[in-house]
């Protein structure tokens, strides 16, 4: 049914275009009113559209109509920009293909080589107009190309009479001289306009004019394997009123005669008022008496002379077109000799003098920089590999170009390109950019922290003192600050010598000033000459100091909590008019927190947590506020830390969670009545369709999860999702079965069941001591929920009424490369930095705590939070504050992509997240099972010291967004996977089991869906495997989880120490210890079983039990114990505990 509907739509579109083309060709005015090339549509209101694009393109990218006009000498164009997102300084572009007089150029490609072409058109285009946007209204790139030619007829460096403008929110506009195109009266032009992106190897046609099913639109970001083919032009535009050419004339010469500072690679061009032919054999290019080798060619009305080698610096050259060598094709006339003389530049311009960039010095102790490079992202310029700019005695210097909108640039240091070797500290890191054009950092091999030269933003006030900084911008950028002899600060006529700090590349001095305004300058001495200058970083060169009277009040709610709960500190500052706070923080050390726990001034509230090692009692908390003048203001409040009650002890601490993550739709179908509530075309055999899993299904399998040893169930988002098929009209389907594409945040998704079913799940789980964790999204709604989204024709496409709920909340101008303002995977982006948007999103999500409360008083216990790095910290703090006010023991684990113990993004111990998913653990597990035991043990021991009840990590092997561990990192070897699971279950942190993993299910994550590469890792749980071919794996997981449950405090809070083994032996024995309780764990990475002996601190004759196998052992007189360690395929695990006394 669905495919038939798609074919009918295609037929209608084709029919409508055929009707248009059968009409009379459209003519423009011969002498249009004056057109201002400004990207605005003002001058085109009375001009009919030549072709239209009523349908939006891929991901909602949308051009509107295209317009043409001509006057006596120029062709003008205008293209509507209905939805062209802001991609920063290298944005999207249009390619207007011009087909002239029904002639065929035979060239189907486009000039930039993007994966779209004109192979299906009846006649191939003769010319291409390109126009790329930079930000909102700047032109990044503009050119006119003849088809098949690599040299443009015109571009930004040689406009050749052309003119271009763009307003990303309105349109693309330009003017092309008719002489460049060789057009005259009665000539016809058909156009086909393509909108494309900034990746020439991947981005195809995002939208086209005209809209037509035969003009193929991209269906993914990468269409390199399936380019977008174009077929249908606009109706013909016929030129009239073009001036008649009776005599060949020169319109422009570049470089002009007697020009200076000409680039040594510049071609010499003559542009004429009509197309020409050339006798190239008679052209000359001379440097004095010396002939310079060159090539000469004609491109329409332009003759180009190109030197075959760069010209010399500071040299004079003369190019000559002798008489009669150029002939006009229209007038059949020639010209006398044409000569232009010019002088080249004296030195080659350095592009780094204008480019914004990061300069990174990478230092290695071995001084070997062969094949070392950077992998970068979020640069706003060109992401990917960066090779050394130069190698110096100090180290390898990298220069990373960054865009004007870039704020936080990520990097990893690696050797080669296969990712087999990375720097000793191989995790993701970020450089936070300031206002300097050049940001300098120094990275030492193997060290996580790196030095970044600080940005100067003017004088800094600090508790009655003012610190002044001086830096010469040009010398700083050139690395030549050492050319300055000395600098002195002059304030109110008094001079103070400044101290140079080489590490920070600035001169600084601190003075105490009375209240009032103070002018200052710097006395800079260079080469013995002293010059008085103003502050180059603070133009006013004047500061004002005041001591305002600020009152602070603070309170805490609840007033008493245990280590399992949170509280919110409320701060109320009373500020005089015109006074602001620069910083506010809580000294949380009395409760085990940081010395400076920042309070967001937009909220004046801050969630606090208690470390479980803090003794009960009343704790005094100091709140510090620093005003704009650097004055310090303090107040105090108190919190009572109470012990965990007997009632609380029946539950478990947050860091003791054993989490089971399921895609609810794929776990178990417990109610078939909700399988197709919207009359869609679900194919339950297709991986991207709804499969029927629901709340009722989870409830029916609670006993299974309880016996498995789970105490926390993480279910995918429960809110109402979009109902339309994103692959409508294509093979297969793609629905929002996973829950991450919300349509209504106040309603349960109808596929999962009603509130009664959800309440039953919550109560039944609670009765078994199992917590419910719900996935939530605050970054985005689903596809098609943005304003103006164009209906694709799919059933159940969002209506205007459904979209209206998000009015004013969605970003109209996403910024590519900006984590907080980008459109993630093309999804609409919420403007969470705006208070009203933040408050609404927080309310929608926190309302579920109240809405989900059952008659028994149970509700949702935890949230898993999606896309943490793509939402601002103020929103996360607000979210945590409101949740704590509702339910003090409510916790959140966040998805900060790439998170590890060394890369927490500032989300832990900050009143935002209580835990983060550990993206690094699977790599550690992979190294371990492949024999790199020593490095992994070292890493896990360090990780162990960094985790605590109020700031922990959730270690996972597989997930819905990545290839399954078994099929990828374990290479399909179930024995290796079992050892990896043992490492996971015995490590500190929260083990997160991905559904089906415990019965040996695994799969690849989706790649190119157009090639049938769907999400094999989002399988239906195969219940037959529990007692069938997955039984051995299931038994392994069940043992491990229940052993962890029995020794929960040891594994969740205990220390970790290596006892024996290592990479050389192929096994590891380590001790986990908490208080008086101790567990010895041995893991085997080899295929064969083995007998191992290792020394312990246990007394002679201590009886030990292997909880994994049930075998018993006795400690010998020397403290040693000998155990049988199973092969990988038999679990590879021994877990020894003292045998309980009868």
Euclidean distance between CA atoms 134 and 336, whole angstroms: 43
Residues 151 and 268 in one domain: no
Residues 1030 and 950 in one domain: yes
Which tokens sit at 758? 């959800």
List, in sequence order, every beta strand (DSSP E) within 957-1019.
990-994
Euclidean distance between CA atoms 339 and 270, whole angstroms: 10
Decide which of 642, 674, 697 is a domain's last residue: 642
Number of domains, the chain: 7
Which tokens sit at 661? 């993550």
- 164, containing H or E segment: strand 163-167
- 429, containing H or E segment: strand 429-432
Q: Beta-carbon neighbour count of residue 836 at 10 Å?
A: 10
Structural domain includes residue 660 = yes
Q: What is the DSSP string of 730-798?
A: SSS----TTS-SEEEEEEE-TTT--HHHHHHHHHHHHHTT-EEEEEE--S---TT-STTPPP-S-TTPP
Q: What is the pLDDT of residue 648?
A: 64
pTM: 0.80
Structural domain includes residue 594 = yes
Q: What is the DSSP string of 944-957?
A: HHH-BTTBEEEEES
Structural domain includes residue 987 = yes
Decide which of 198, 213, 238 is a domain's last residue: 238
Euclidean distance between CA atoms 178 and 155, whole angstroms: 16
Q: Hey, what long-range contacts does 644-650 have (CB within 8 A, 24 or more apart)?
A: 644/562, 644/563, 644/564, 645/562, 648/562, 648/564, 650/769
Residues 215 and 96 in one domain: yes
Euclidean distance between CA atoms 23 and 25, whole angstroms: 6
Decide which of 1000, 1027, 1045 is a domain's last residue: 1045
Q: Are 747 and 805 in contact (CB under 8 A)?
A: no
Q: What's the CATH number where 737 sits?
A: 3.20.20.80
Residues 233 and 256 in one domain: no
Strand partners for 284: 320
User: Which has the closest alpha carbon to 44: 77, 21, 81?
Assistant: 77
Walking along the chain (1142 residues) 10 residues at a time, the average pLDDT comes out as 28 25 30 77 94 88 95 95 85 96 96 96 97 92 94 89 93 94 94 94 94 91 90 96 92 94 94 93 96 93 94 97 94 95 93 94 97 94 93 97 90 94 91 95 96 96 94 95 97 96 97 95 97 95 95 97 97 96 97 98 97 97 96 97 78 96 98 94 93 98 98 98 92 94 98 98 98 98 91 91 96 86 92 97 98 97 97 98 98 96 96 98 97 96 97 98 97 98 98 98 92 94 98 98 98 98 97 97 97 96 97 96 97 95 68
Burial class (CB in 10 A: 0-12, 13-18, 19+), 1079: buried
User: Which has the closest alpha carbon to 735: 810, 803, 684?
Assistant: 684
Strand partners for 593: none
Residues 429 and 507 in one domain: no
Euclidean distance between CA atoms 448 and 412, whole angstroms: 11
Structural domain includes residue 422 = yes
Residues 624 and 765 in one domain: no
Q: What's the CATH number where 324 sits?
A: 2.60.40.1220
Q: What is the pLDDT of residue 395?
A: 97
Q: Are 112 and 204 in contact (CB under 8 A)?
A: no
Structural domain includes residue 658 = yes
Structural domain includes residue 984 = yes
Residues 299 and 363 in one domain: no
Place of tokens 């046609």: 205
Share of the chain above pLDDT 90, in %: 86
Q: What is the DSSP string of 890-950?
A: -EEEE--TT-BTTB-TT-TTTTS-SEEEESSHHHHHHHHHTT-HHHHHHHHHHHHHH-BTT
Structural domain includes residue 122 = yes
- Three-state secondary-structure class, residue 57: coil
Residues 330 and 181 in one domain: no
- 877, containing H or E segment: helix 873-886
Residues 745 and 868 in one domain: yes
Q: Are 615 and 623 in contact (CB under 8 A)?
A: no
Place of tokens 């016809």: 188
Residues 233 and 90 in one domain: yes
Domain containing residue 206: 2-238
Q: What's the CATH number where 472 sits?
A: 2.60.40.10
Q: What's the CATH number where 1068 sits?
A: 2.60.40.1180
Residues 150 and 227 in one domain: yes
With a CB cutoff of 8 Å and minimum separation 6, the contacts of 776 are 717, 845, 863, 864, 865, 866
Structural domain includes residue 797 = no
Which tokens sit at 820? 């907080």
- 517, containing H or E segment: strand 516-526
- Three-state secondary-structure class, residue 664: helix
Map 1016-1074 to HEC letters: CCCCCCCHHHCCCCCHHHHHHHHHHHHHHHHCHHHHHHCEEEEEEEECCCCEEEEEEEE
- In this structure, are strands 990-994 and 1055-1062 parallel, antiparallel, or unpaired? unpaired
Q: What's the CATH number where 12 sits?
A: 2.60.40
Q: What is the pLDDT of residue 381?
A: 86
Which tokens sit at 125? 């285009």
Residues 151 and 284 in one domain: no
């Amino acid at each position: 049914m669905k495919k038939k509907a798609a074919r009918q739509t295609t037929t209608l579109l084709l029919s409508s275009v055929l009707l248009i083309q059968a009409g009379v060709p459209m003519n423009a005015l011969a002498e249009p009113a004056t057109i201002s090339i400004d990207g605005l549509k003002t001058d085109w209101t009375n001009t009919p559209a030549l072709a239209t694009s009523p349908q939006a393109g891929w991901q909602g990218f949308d051009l509107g109509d295209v317009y043409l006009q001509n006057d006596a000498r120029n062709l003008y164009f205008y293209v509507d920009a209905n939805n062209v997102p802001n991609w920063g300084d290298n944005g999207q572009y249009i390619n207007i293909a011009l087909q002239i007089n029904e002639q065929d150029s035979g060239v189907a490609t486009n000039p930039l080589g993007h994966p779209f072409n004109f192979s299906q058109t009846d006649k191939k285009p003769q010319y291409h107009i390109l126009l790329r946007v930079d930000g909102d209204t700047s032109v990044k790139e503009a050119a006119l190309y003849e088809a098949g030619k690599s040299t443009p007829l015109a571009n930004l460096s040689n406009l050749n009479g052309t003119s271009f403008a763009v307003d990303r929110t309105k349109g693309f506009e330009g003017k092309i001289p008719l002489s460049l195109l060789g057009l005259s009266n009665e000539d016809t032009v058909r156009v086909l306009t393509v909108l494309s992106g900034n990746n020439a190897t991947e981005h195809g046609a995002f939208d086209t004019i005209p809209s037509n099913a035969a003009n193929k639109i991209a269906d993914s970001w990468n269409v390199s394997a399936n380019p977008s083919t174009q077929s249908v032009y606009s109706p013909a535009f016929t030129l009239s009123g073009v001036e008649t050419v009776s005599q060949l004339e020169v319109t422009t010469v570049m470089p002009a005669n007697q020009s200076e500072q000409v680039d040594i690679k510049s071609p010499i061009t003559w542009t004429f008022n009509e197309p020409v032919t050339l006798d190239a054999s008679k052209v000359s290019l001379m440097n004095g008496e010396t002939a310079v080798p060159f090539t000469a060619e004609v491109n329409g009305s332009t003759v180009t002379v190109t030197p075959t080698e760069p010209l010399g610096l500071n040299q004079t050259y003369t190019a000559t077109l002798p008489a009669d060598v150029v002939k006009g094709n229209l007038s059949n006339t020639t010209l006398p000799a044409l000569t232009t003389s010019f002088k080249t530049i004296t030195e080659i311009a350095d592009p780094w003098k204008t480019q914004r960039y990061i300069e990174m010095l990478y230092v290695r102790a071995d001084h070997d920089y062969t094949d070392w490079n950077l992998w970068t992202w979020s640069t706003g310029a060109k992401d990917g590999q960066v090779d050394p700019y130069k190698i110096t005695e100090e180290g390898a210097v990298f220069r990373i170009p960054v865009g004007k909108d870039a704020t936080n640039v990520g990097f990893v240091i690696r050797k080669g390109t296969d990712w087999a070797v990375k720097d000793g500290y191989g995790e993701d890191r970020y450089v936070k950019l300031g206002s300097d054009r050049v940001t300098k950092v120094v990275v030492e091999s193997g060290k996580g922290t790196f030095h970044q030269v600080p940005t100067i933003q003017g004088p800094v006030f600090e508790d009655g003192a003012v610190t002044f900084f001086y830096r010469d911008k040009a010398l700083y950028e050139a690395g030549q600050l050492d050319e300055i002899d000395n600098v002195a600060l002059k304030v109110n006529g008094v001079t103070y010598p400044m101290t140079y700090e080489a590490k920070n590349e600035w001169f600084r001095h601190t003075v105490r000033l009375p209240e009032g305004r103070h002018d200052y300058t710097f006395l800079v001495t260079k080469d013995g000459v002293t010059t008085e200058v103003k502050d180059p970083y603070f133009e006013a060169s004047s500061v004002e100091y005041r001591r305002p009277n600020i009152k602070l009040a603070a309170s805490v709610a609840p007033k008493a909590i245990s280590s399992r709960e949170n509280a919110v500190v409320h701060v109320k500052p009373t500020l005089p008019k015109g006074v602001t706070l620069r910083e506010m923080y809580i000294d949380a050390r009395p409760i085990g927190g940081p010395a400076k726990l920042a309070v967001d001034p937009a909220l004046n509230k801050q969630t606090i947590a208690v470390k479980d090692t803090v003794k009960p009692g009343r704790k005094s908390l100091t709140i510090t506020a620093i005003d704009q003048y650097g004055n310090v203001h303090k107040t105090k409040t108190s919190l009572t830390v109470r012990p965990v009650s007997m009632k609380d002890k029946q539950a478990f601490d947050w860091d003791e969670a054993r989490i089971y993550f399921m895609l609810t739709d794929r776990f178990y179908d417990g109610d078939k009545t909700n399988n197709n509530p919207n009359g869609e075309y679900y194919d339950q055999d297709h991986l991207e369709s709804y499969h029927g899993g629901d709340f009722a299904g989870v409830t029916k399998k609670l006993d299974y999860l309880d016996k498995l040893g789970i105490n926390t169930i993480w279910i995918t988002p429960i809110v109402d999702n979009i109902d339309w098929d994103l692959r409508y009209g294509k093979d297969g389907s793609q629905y929002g079965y996973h829950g991450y594409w919300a349509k209504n945040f106040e309603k349960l998704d109808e596929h999962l069941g009603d509130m009664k079913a959800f309440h039953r799940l919550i109560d039944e789980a609670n009765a078994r001591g199992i917590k419910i964790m719900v996935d939530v999204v605050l970054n985005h709604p689903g596809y098609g929920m943005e304003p103006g989204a164009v209906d694709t024709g799919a059933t159940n496409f969002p209506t205007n009424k459904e979209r209206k709920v998000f009015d004013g909340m969605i970003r109209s101008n996403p910024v590519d490369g900006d984590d907080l303002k980008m459109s993630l995977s093309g999804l609409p982006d919420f403007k969470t930095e705006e208070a009203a948007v933040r408050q609404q999103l927080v309310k929608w999500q926190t309302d579920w705590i109240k809405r989900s409360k059952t008659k028994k008083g149970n509700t949702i216990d935890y949230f898993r939070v999606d896309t943490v790095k793509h939402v601002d910290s103020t929103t996360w703090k607000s979210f945590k504050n409101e949740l704590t006010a509702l339910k003090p023991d409510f916790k959140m684990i966040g998805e900060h992509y790439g998170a590890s113990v060394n890369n927490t993004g500032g989300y832990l111990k900050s009143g935002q997240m209580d835990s983060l998913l550990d993206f690094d653990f699977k790599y550690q597990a992979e190294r371990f099972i492949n024999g790199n035991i020593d490095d992994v043990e070292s890493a896990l021991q360090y990780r162990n010291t960094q985790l605590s009840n109020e700031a922990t990590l959730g270690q996972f092997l597989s997930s819905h967004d990545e290839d399954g561990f078994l099929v990828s990192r374990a290479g399909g070897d179930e024995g290796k996977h079992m050892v990896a699971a043992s490492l996971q279950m015995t490590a500190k942190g929260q083990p997160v089991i991905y559904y089906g993993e415990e019965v040996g299910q695994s799969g690849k994550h989706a790649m190119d869906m157009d090639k049938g590469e769907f999400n094999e890792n989002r399988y239906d749980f195969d219940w037959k495997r529990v007692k069938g071919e997955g039984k051995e794996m299931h038994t392994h997981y069940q043992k491990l989880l229940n052993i962890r449950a029995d020794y929960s405090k040891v594994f969740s809070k205990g220390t970790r120490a290596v006892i024996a083994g290592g990479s050389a032996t192929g096994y590891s024995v380590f001790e986990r210890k908490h208080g008086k309780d101790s567990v010895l764990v041995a893991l085997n990475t080899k295929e064969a079983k083995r007998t191992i002996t290792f020394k312990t601190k246990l007394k002679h004759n201590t009886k030990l039990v292997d909880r994994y196998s049930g075998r018993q052992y006795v400690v010998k007189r020397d403290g040693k114990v000998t155990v049988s360690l199973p092969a990988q395929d038999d679990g590879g695990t021994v877990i020894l505990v003292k045998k309980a006394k009868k």
